[in-house]
Amino acid sequence: MKSILNACGAAALAVVAAAVVVAQNRDGEWPMYSGSYRAERFSPLKEITPSNVSRLRPVWVYQPPGTGSLETTPVVVNGMMYVTAGPTMVQALDLRSGKSIWEWTRPIAPSVLNLGFPRVNRGVAVLDNTIYVGTLDGYLVALDARAGIERWSAHVGENPLGHSITAAPLVVDNKVIVGVSGGEAGIRGFLDAYDAKSGKQQWRFYTVPSPGEPGSESWPGDSWVHGGGATWLTGAYDPQLKLLYWGTGNPGPDWNGDSRKGDNLYTSSLVAIDVDTGKARWHFQFTPHDVHDWDANQIPVLVDAEINGRPRQVVVQANRNAFFYVLDRRTGEYLLGAPYAKQTWAKGLDEKGRPILVPDMDPSEKGTLVYPSLQGSTNWASPSYSPLTGYLYVPVREMGSIYFKTPAEYKPGTSYTGGSEKRLDEESWGAVRAIDVRTGKKVWDFELPSPPWAGVLSTAGGLVFGGSNEGNFYALDASTGKPLWQFQTGGAIRSGPMSFAVGGRQHVAVAGGHALFVFALE
Amino acid sequence: MKWLSLILVSLFAATAAAQPAVARLSTAGASDLAAGQRIFDSQCAWCHGAGGTGGTGPDLRRSSLRHAATDDALVNIVRGGIPGTEMPGFAIALTERMAWQTAAYVKSIGRTKPVALPGNAQRGANVYDSSGCGSCHTVNGVGGISGPELTTIGALRGAPYLRESIVRPAAAHPTGYLVVRTTTKSGEEIRGVRVNEDVFWIHVRDAGGNVHALEKSQLAKVERQLDASLMPSYESRLAASDLDDLVAYLTTLRGAQ
């Protein structure tokens, strides 16, 4: 723990250290999807530094059976690595040799629906001797970590209606928290908690309230029934406050809001949920009445920093809608917000953080040009926060789209979107962008030829690792963004890098194409 | 007959699994066709041109479309696209009924009598040769490499787009033919088509067909010329009738039939 405490620095609040003890990397492990409950995707390991990173070399490569891009972030605990591949497969790998110890595959028929996203899996959660994985056909499965034998499975959502799971679950105390995809299929989104030992459901939080519940006034008629609000990425957790922070997806239908006039709570929002009761303590809606498919599922990151001259415990998010937000994580109070990428839909944010809309930016039959594109200024690719620099490193997508509106008609198990887009591909570009969370201002950009799908990792060694659609895996100086090292993986990187230690050596891993690459200093 | 009916049953089952049974496109009424046309104008005309006259996508005024031999195939293309081509699927945007209406409209376009192009294809072949098109473009295995291969261009693009790409190549340069100008730190310039680019390298094919592998750290500048083409405009080089003939010739290039 010493290195972690050093990493956080003397100025950090006492609560930081307490949270780190519960949730941070233990002895070079990477115990969960985002690295820690704070979802910083920050490694306290510091063997690899700007001065020696030029000696980073691949030590092994793993290629699972099958095809398609790997979107997994490996989890490393108890001397083993657990990686996933699509549609639903888990591999336990030996850390030193990269050889498979066991493999678990769920049979997924071609008829299993994945409406609006690829047939991928992004990772597992671990508690003691059990691995938890969500399945494309809508189940949560518990596996024995030693041999990959199934212990239980829970039916989370109805795949024939469009529910599916690609996100890594999150383990908190004795609960497994898992969200669902399906925002393009007219689902009513929810977040579930299951007992880690038995698989029995503990609670369900619906992201769209039913009539009479708070927020239901934002849905006319029965529009709430297919209101969307999927929970398709992994959230963060504050053990002191016992609060989960989970982003919610677009309302349904995506691009045609005619049938759902109103704010459409709690879609395109961040919801803080009491982990014991499954009840929301607060919510913040980034994009009220979203008609551009700007899900707010991007990873929320828990940060302790001085905001507006005062030390605060906050949750920050670079949102798909092109604005960066800082919220008090106890109350949800809006503290700071600023655009971090090109956008043409809002004049700015008001004093409560609500967007001030530019007129006539809704999708239309003839098409409406809006920045950012449907995929947003950032998407599911993880950001990273370094407590050493105070910067949030965001994979940024600079792209516009022409948004179309079409009639929407709900039919179970089909797309319920009400439109489409035509992307402006040729002029688009990307970046890893460092944003100072204390000000919301950009510090530096590392430019990429195209809008990335790769996540970002920062380390106590002073490095930022990122990827590109063009296959590059690279290391940047965390303070300046200067490139220091790169490796061509030969396939698009659509995954989040992570770091672990084995045998006293720091390693960095990333999936590129259909292979997992593991690096260490030569 | 028993084996025949078995085959028929299994064929029907396979079709039913792939695509819910749809009514024949010819049963579409006026309101369905009007709805299909609205969708087409909004979603499809970007590539296929209003009325299906062709553009970056093929001219659809044909009684038979080579990827859509049946009604079901046509509906499936509207929903799922054509893998391996530029035709995307619209399953996310369109309900099954909307896809069916769109397909019905496309089929109705095929029943309209195509307006004959003004040029003469045979004379156009001579214009192609005498203008030196083959120094950069290849047809049926013969020609240069700097420009796109044209062996099947008539099946891929409509006449309005082909005309535009001859008159204003810069406004119509196809995907994969982005012009870049790179300048090394010592001031050497290389201009050509970007054949590949990643974060650290860029590969440029110059007008002479030579590929340059350039490490970006050694470059002072990489300029992306979004509105440029290596091909000169032939507007002033060709008589109006020659241009008509050349376009007519290009539309006949449809590869092996």
ipTM value of the model? 0.86
Taking 90 as the threshold, does the pLDDT of residue B7 lie above it? no
Indicate which residue of A137, A192, A254, A293 is catalytic: A293
pLDDT of residue A13: 38
Q: How far is A153 from chain B (nearest CA, A)?
A: 29
Q: How far is A451 from chain B (nearest CA, A)?
A: 12
Cβ(B77)–Cβ(B86) below 8 Å: no
When pLDDT is cut at 50, 70 and 90, the band that residue B111 belongs to is confident
Fold of A2-521: Methanol Dehydrogenase; Chain A (2.140.10)
The secondary structure of B82-96 as a DSSP string is: -TTSS----TTTS-H
pLDDT of residue A102: 97
Cβ(B233)–Cβ(B168) below 8 Å: yes
Q: Which of A5-19, A483-497, B12-26, B94-108 has the lowest mean pLDDT?
A: A5-19
Contacts of A205 (CB under 8 A, 6+ apart): A190, A191, A192, A271, A273, A278, A279, A280
| Bridge partner list, A459 | A43
Q: Which residues of A touch B95 (CB under 8 A)?
A: 407-409, 411, 414-415
pLDDT of residue A379: 98
pLDDT of residue A17: 36
| CA A407, chain centre distance (Å) | 31
Please answer yes or no on whether B200 and A483 come within 8 Å at the CB atom: yes
State the residue for tokens 């929301």.
A280
Indicate the SS3 state at residue A118: coil
Taking 60 as the threshold, does the pLDDT of residue A48 lie above it? yes
Residues A432-456: pLDDT tens digits?
999 999 999 999 999 999 999 999 9
Cβ(B26)–Cβ(B107) below 8 Å: yes
Q: Which of A238-252, A392-406, B7-21 has the lowest mean pLDDT?
A: B7-21
Which of A267-271, B79-83, B208-212 has maximum average pLDDT? A267-271
State the residue for tokens 């179970």.
A412
pLDDT of residue B208: 87
Domain with CATH 2.30.30.100 in chain B: 179-225
Domain with CATH 1.10.760.10 in chain B: 20-111, 121-169+232-251
Average pLDDT over every residue of A43-49: 97
Taking 90 as the threshold, does the pLDDT of residue A269 lie above it? yes
Give me the residues of B, 105-134, that contact A with CB < 8 A.
Answer: none
Answer positive or negative: Cα dihedral of A232, A261, A405, A187: positive
Indicate the SS3 state at residue A22: helix
List the Cα angle A208/A209/A213 in 5-degree steps. Answer: 165
Nearest CA in chain B to A256: B93
Residues A122-170: pLDDT tens digits?
999 999 999 999 999 999 999 999 999 999 999 999 999 999 999 999 9
CA atoms within 13 A on the CB side of B178: 19
Cα separation, A360 vs A366, in Å, equals 12
Average pLDDT, chain A: 94
Backbone phi and psi for residue A205, each to the nearest 5 degrees, phi listed first: -110, 115
Residues B29-62: pLDDT tens digits?
999 999 999 999 988 999 999 999 899 999 998 8
Backbone phi and psi for residue A106, each to the nearest 5 degrees, phi listed first: -95, 130
Identify the CA nearest to A37 among candidates A236, A299, A315, A241: A236
Percent of chain B with pLDDT over 90: 69
Q: Which residues of B touch A409 (CB under 8 A)?
A: 95, 97
| CATH C-level class of B179-225 | mainly beta
Taking 90 as the threshold, does the pLDDT of residue A326 lie above it? yes
When pLDDT is cut at 50, 70 and 90, the band that residue A248 belongs to is very high
Cα separation, A424 vs A214, in Å, equals 39
**The model's pTM:** 0.90
Taking 50 as the threshold, does the pLDDT of residue A9 lie above it? no
pLDDT of residue A427: 86
Q: How many CB atoms are located within 10 Å of the residue A59 CB?
A: 18
Residues A159-197: pLDDT tens digits?
999 999 999 999 999 999 999 999 999 999 999 999 999
Cα separation, A468 vs A455, in Å, equals 9
When pLDDT is cut at 50, 70 and 90, the band that residue B110 belongs to is confident
Backbone phi and psi for residue B136, each to the nearest 5 degrees, phi listed first: -115, -25
Cα separation, B131 vs B126, in Å, equals 8
Cα–Cα distances (Å) from B200 to B61, B146, B203, in that order, read 46, 24, 10
| Structure tokens given for B8 | 């028929």
Is residue A425 annotated as part of the catalytic site, yes or no? no
Q: How far is B124 from chain A (nearest CA, A)?
A: 32
Q: Which residue has the higher pLDDT, B115 or A353?
A: A353
State the residue for tokens 């944003």.
A435
Which of A150-154, B82-86, B106-110 has maximum average pLDDT? A150-154
Q: Which residue has the higher pLDDT, A200 or A67?
A: A200
When pLDDT is cut at 50, 70 and 90, the band that residue A26 belongs to is low
Helix (H) or strand (E) holding A244: strand A243-247
Q: What is the CATH number of domain B20-111?
A: 1.10.760.10
Taking 50 as the threshold, does the pLDDT of residue A313 lie above it? yes
The secondary structure of chain B as a DSSP string is: -HHHHHHHHHHHHHHHHHS-----GGG--HHHHHHHHHHIIIIIHHHH-GGG--SSSPP--SSSBTTBSSHHHHHHHHHH--TTSS----TTTS-HHHHHHHHHHHHHHHHSPPPPPSS-HHHHHHHHHHTTGGGT-EETTEE-SSS---TTHHHHS-HHHHHHHHH-GGGGPPTT--EEEEEETT--EEEEEEEEE-SSEEEEEETTS-EEEEEGGGEEEEEEETT--SSPP-TTTS-HHHHHHHHHHHHT-----
Question: Which of A406, A410, A446 has the highest number of chain B CBs within 10 A, making it the mutation to test binding with B?
Answer: A406
Size of interface A-B (CB pairs under 8 A): 61
Residues A333-351: pLDDT tens digits?
999 999 999 999 999 999 9
Cβ(A506)–Cβ(A48) below 8 Å: yes
pLDDT of residue A101: 96
Domain B121-169+232-251 has CATH 1.10.760.10: yes
When pLDDT is cut at 50, 70 and 90, the band that residue A112 belongs to is very high
pLDDT of residue B257: 55
Cα–Cα distances (Å) from A366 to A405, A428, B29, B43, B106, in that order, read 8, 22, 24, 9, 19
Is B216 in the A-facing interface, judged by CB distances under 8 Å? no
Q: Which residue has the higher pLDDT, A1 or A83?
A: A83
Inter-residue long-range contacts of A16-21, CB under 8 Å, 24+ positions, other chains counted:
A16/A304, A16/A387, A18/A239, A18/A240, A19/A238, A19/A239, A19/A240, A19/A302
Q: Which residues of A touch B93 (CB under 8 A)?
A: 404, 406, 415, 417, 419-420
Identify the CA nearest to A90 among candidates A61, A59, A130: A130
Average pLDDT over every residue of A473-478: 98
Percent of chain A with pLDDT over 70: 95
pLDDT of residue A118: 94
Taking 60 as the threshold, does the pLDDT of residue B17 lie above it? no
Taking 50 as the threshold, does the pLDDT of residue A208 lie above it? yes
| Structure tokens given for B174 | 């196809």
Cβ(A42)–Cβ(A437) below 8 Å: no
Cβ(A465)–Cβ(A489) below 8 Å: no
pLDDT of residue B20: 46
State the Rg of chain A over Cα.
21
